[in-house]
Structures are given as C-alpha cells and as structure tokens.
Structure 1
C-alpha cells in the first residue's frame, strides 16, 4: 500500500506581536482557539526571508507528501541536528485566530493545533511528549515552511511495517499503541482533534533501546467541539461509519475508530476501508492474542455510542 494512496513545537509566543485587525465572520470558538479559514485578507505576522532559512537549515530529500504539502529531510547547520521541513503552498494554508492576553493573533492553523496538542500554547494545558515538536516557522512569499524535529532513525509506521515485512511482533505493536493511546488522550484533553490518525502520521523511532512514538501532520486537524462535524478532512478510507451513515461525526469516537483501523491495517492483507469493514466478515487474526483482537474490535464497533472512550482504552487488558 503506497503512502501516496493514503491520502508537526516549541511554544508559540505572541506577547511581542501586534494585534490583528480582522473582519469577524463564521468563527467557531472553543476556549481561546478560533477556526477562521476565511481570514486570507489578514496581514502575516511572522515574516522571514528565504535566505534566512537557507542560512540556518540545509535540505536533503523528500520524505513525505500529502494533500497539504510535501516534507523534506534536512539538518540545522549550527549543530547538524536532523529536522523535517514541511512546505505548504500559500494557497493551501489555513489560518486561525489565537486569543491571548486580550489580543487576537493570526496563526497558521496546523502550527497552532500542533502547539496546543503538545500542551505548549495555553496555561493549564497538559504536556504531551507524543506530539512532534516545532522548531521554526517561515512565512515566505509563495509558501509556508514548518520546521520540526526529526528523531534519529525514525520512520512512519507504514514504512516500519514494510521494514518488518508486515510481521511486527505483537509486543512491539502493544508498546506503540499504548503510547499512541496515551498521546491521543492528552491531545484531546488539550482540545485538539487530529482527525487523520493513520500509519503515515505516526513516527516510530528507537529511544534508548525502546520504541517511541510521535504523532505528526496536523493539516487535517481541528479544535474539539461539542456539536458534530459534518465535513470530513482526512483519509476517507479511515472515516468512521457514522460519517458514511449519518453524514456527521464526533471527535473522540472518530479517534478511537482510527486507532482500531490502524491496528487492523497492520495485519490485514488488503488496505483498510471503512465501507468494506462494515460489510464484513471481519474474522480475528490468529497471529494476535485474544486481548489484542478484543482491543481492535472494541475500537471498530460500528455504533459510536458503544465504542469505548480513550481513557477506557488506556485501561484495556491488552495495554495494562
């Protein structure tokens, strides 16, 4: 399964930035984050020249591509630290307002969501080590560059699965998913909905001999709200059944569904598709323990009201 077919932070400091004058319309606000996809008339707050970027970083090769841009590997020239640089064409950039200290600031949506998912934007948020870290942001004339950490010898779960020839030992999968669920719990506590949990958006790497996980790519993300979502932005094959059946869905049941879909996708012979899964049959995997199959099946419960909550997944016997 090609990743092309499947259809990212230090703190954002706004204390020294001037307030943004905008015409308010169609805002959806939860807490201090406001989605504003129609704010393209706002002036840019952060401006840096391309030569500043080239003086600080060196790019190498493309390591990823999605609907909102491409990702290059590189290093920071000062210390040769590996980095990932996401290039987003200006026309595809979404913006949101960040309300802080009585002011409203225009921010790149993906960056703001990433920061808050990591617990780095607002006081009272929960630190989340399972979210990729931001190093720099460059707003250029034709594109936005998001510079992120890139753990040594890291790869996404899709490539990790290929490396293991589709036979990742269950104890390693258990370690990965325990961290993934923990990161998802904190992400939701911080009010952020990733909406595109899949193999290509989960980095796996060795940290002191142990597998560690980082969630990447918040380009399809949103703030969590109490009312249902109707438009789906993400990998449609991983969309929850309720989106297909009722044309609306909620954040947490969707995240739970996608965690289960990712797990099943690792072991199934064919790429996971929600429609096909709904048609069944979906027999358990003989190569996996009863607890693992049960975890997967609970995540993939068709009715969203009967799916476990993320905190309940943390307590599932497979992960305990």
Structure 2
C-alpha cells in the first residue's frame, strides 16, 4: 500500500518515479514511470476508486486486473504490479512505445501481406495462449493491439474479458459485448456463444483490416451492419493485391457458422500461416504479479466489524485474482503452476467445513493440526519425497454470508494422493457444478 502523499508528476510511487501523462480517460490517467533502481520504463494506469464507482465500471476494472494477473506472454501487455491507496489503484504495466495497430495501418493505408501475416501470427499465438489459460478477450480490434519498437504486437485492454466462471451451465457465454464491426454473428444472436470462436472471428476482421485497410462489414445503419455480419464471406477488394491463400484464410475465419469456422489449431497447420512463423515462448515461470490487498476492495471492513476467528472476507475481485476458474478440473494442470493451490466453493459454514474436512481426511489416514482457524493435513513417510508423503494447508474464505471458498495449498508430496484428497473434499463439501457456475457468473 502507498500513502496519499507525493503522487504528483515527477514524484515517487514506491520504487517508481512518475513522469509525463501518456493518456487520460474517464476514470483516470496513464503516466510514464521509471524504475529508479533499474531505469526501466513503465506505463502506470492510475484509477480513481471514486470515479470507478460513479461510472459503475468496478467489475470491468476488477476483471482486467484479475485477467492480466494470469497472462505472461510476449504478445500480451504485461501487468507487473498493482499498488494501491485508499483512493487510487496504480497498475504498473509494460510500456509499449509504438502506439496502436490501428494507427500503424491508418498511416500506411494497409500492411504488405508479409507484414500483415506476421501481425496475424503473433495475434493468433497470443489469443491461443489466452484461451489455453481460460481467458477470452471479447473485444479484439486494432485499437486494443499495441505495437512495440520492434514491430511486435501486444494485446491490451482486457476490461471485457471472460474467465471460465463466466460461462453458464450450457457451457456458453451470454453477455453481448465488443465493438460492432468486429463482433461475431453468434454474439449478436444472443443465444450463447463460445468465447474462443468469437475471438477468432475478431482476429479474422483484424487480418482483413490489416491487409486491405478497410472493414469487411460496415454500415451506418446498425441493422444493416448486423445483416452483413450474419451473411459473412465479405467481398475482398482487388487493390491492394492479396494472395488467394490469404483470401481463403479470411473467408474461412469469417464463416458466420461457428461450428464450421476454422479453428486456431487448423490455422496453425495452414501453409500460408506457417510461412516465417516463429512461435513465441510464454514467460509463465516468471514471478507472480504483486498486488496490494488495498486494490481488491473499495470498502474494506474495519477490525471492529469482524468477529473473532471469523473467516477472511473476500469479494468477487479477489476471487478472480485468486484463480482462473472455480471449476476444480481447471486446476489440474502443471503441478508447479496450478496444483499447489486448488479452490472450491461450499455452502457449509466455516465451522462445519473445518470439522468436516478434519473428519474426512482423518478417515483417509491423514494427521490434522489446527492453528489460527487453519488446518494442516499431513501424511509422512520416512522420506518426504517418497510416494505417499503429503503436506497440505486448508483455509476457508467468506465470499458471501452463505458462500465460502476452501483453499487447499500443497507444501510438498505425492501429486496423485493430493488429487485424490482434493477430489474427495470438493465432491463431499463443494457446491454442485451448475450452482457454482451460476453463483459466480458476471
């Protein structure tokens, strides 16, 4: 947390020195900042909490921070740190010097096919990475794609992004959002859509714009515009010249039927796409984003408001920041990234939860140690690295008066045994899948 003093231009913000204003919006400013120790430049998004509440965009800001926390890819704008005071949130972001892709295209009218393909390759690489992380952007357009000094793209502005907990029971997203010219027909239809195929449609529109300098679907009348989008397969101008393979790629992406639309996997196998393609290397092993607790809550409860030994109170913002999904299956990925922390929701009271967890794990042969409202579950062998050894901490957080989150953190031990333990606890104590998703839907 940072004090309210010394935040004018040229002043310090922790280890950062604030400089010139890069941009200004309805809810705050973006300033240039320099790390005093390393000299590295950053962009600092300064958000006024009061203004956020006035505009009722707190969910959008929370979603953006919670999403960016998950993403560490060369072609996605990186969130390094979130510093907060009682009145402001400071997002320390990667500083991208080349401006928007929109401006790059507008200045040159269009991009040569080789250059446009490179942009498209990086876009597909980044979007594929986001989807694998369970993140769906839902507002991809050239204005939300930045270009660095080397000509590489960086996807930004995840304020409308969706995470797995935003899906309804039918497995689809149902919020109509995005920019009209770039939105997929199934999003307009408002019958539910797959976030991955909808994002891919937007990528196809961006490719069309990059190679032609014009929009594939455009009209001042919104009804006519949506009719054009629903029809799909736009006319591609003869000037500038575009290869038949590039035209075919555009048409296969801008297929109005999401079930027959080309997939990202198929795009990556396409010969036109593969020309000069160099896959990016994500930075998932880098340290986690540092986020001040004060950034997670606009109205933090006072100590006198909390009951002794009551569970920690968290809100939806913190829950998004805590994980990429409330679905237990989403956490069984690489051990060093996801398995060490697993969470599920429950309607049992904290007291009942801790008692039931103790009873279940004891019957499974584990030892239990209670301390400060937390449980430590252990099963030891002579060599702690040998199969059968396990150490897990269990803690309960309050999401609402009738909904709680159980967090299981593995210190060390047998991964298969840990899976069994987590599955047993979530099955016996967790909210059923359909109720869980409905409870957390944005």
Q: TM-score, normalised by structure 1?
A: 0.69
Cα-to-partner distance string for 1:127-162 (whole Å, 9 max, x where unaligned): x322211222122333322110114x3221011112
Structure 1 counterpart of 2:141, from 198, 210, 221: 198
The answer for the alignment partner of 1:94 in structure 2 is: 59
Structure 2 counterpart of 1:61, from 15, 21, 42: 21
1:300 aligns with 2:300: no
The answer for the alignment partner of 1:154 in structure 2 is: 98
Cα-to-partner distance string for 1:99-148 (whole Å, 9 max, x where unaligned): xxxxxxxxx43222112132xxxxxxxxx322211222122333322110
Structure 2 counterpart of 1:221, from 151, 154, 161: 161
Give, in angstroms, the shift of residue 272 of structure 1. 4.6
The CA distance in 2 between the partners of 1:113 and 1:214, in whole Å, is 15
Please show how residues 272-291 of structure 1 align to structure 2 within 5 Å.
272-273=217-218, 275=226, 276-278=228-230, 282-286=234-238, 287-291=241-245
Please show how residues 174-185 of structure 1 align to structure 2 within 5 Å.
174-185=117-128
Matched-pair contact (CA < 8 Å) for 1:264–1:272: no
1:113 aligns with 2:67: yes
The answer for the alignment partner of 1:255 in structure 2 is: 199
Give, in angstroms, the shift of residue 255 of structure 1. 0.9
Matched-pair contact (CA < 8 Å) for 1:61–1:72: yes
The CA distance in 2 between the partners of 1:251 and 1:135, in whole Å, is 26
Q: CA RMSD in A?
A: 2.7
Q: Which secondary structure state, in structure 1, belongs to the residue aligned with residue 272 of structure 2?
A: coil
For the pair shown, which has the larger CA radius of gyration, 1 or 2? Answer: 2
Cα-to-partner distance string for 1:60-105 (whole Å, 9 max, x where unaligned): 123465x876533443344442221223342222389xxxxxxxxx
Which consecutive aligned stretches of 4+ in structure 1 deviate over 6 angstroms post-superposition? none
1:83 aligns with 2:54: no
1:187 aligns with 2:127: no
Q: TM-score, normalised by structure 2?
A: 0.51
Task: Kindly tell me the number of residue pairs found equivalent between the two proteins.
Answer: 248
Matched-pair contact (CA < 8 Å) for 2:47–2:90: yes
Larger RCO: Structure 1 or Structure 2 (Cα < 8 Å, ≥ 6 residues apart)? 1
Q: Which secondary structure state, in structure 2, belongs to the residue aligned with residue 319 of structure 1?
A: helix
Gaps of 5+ in 2: 219-224, 275-442
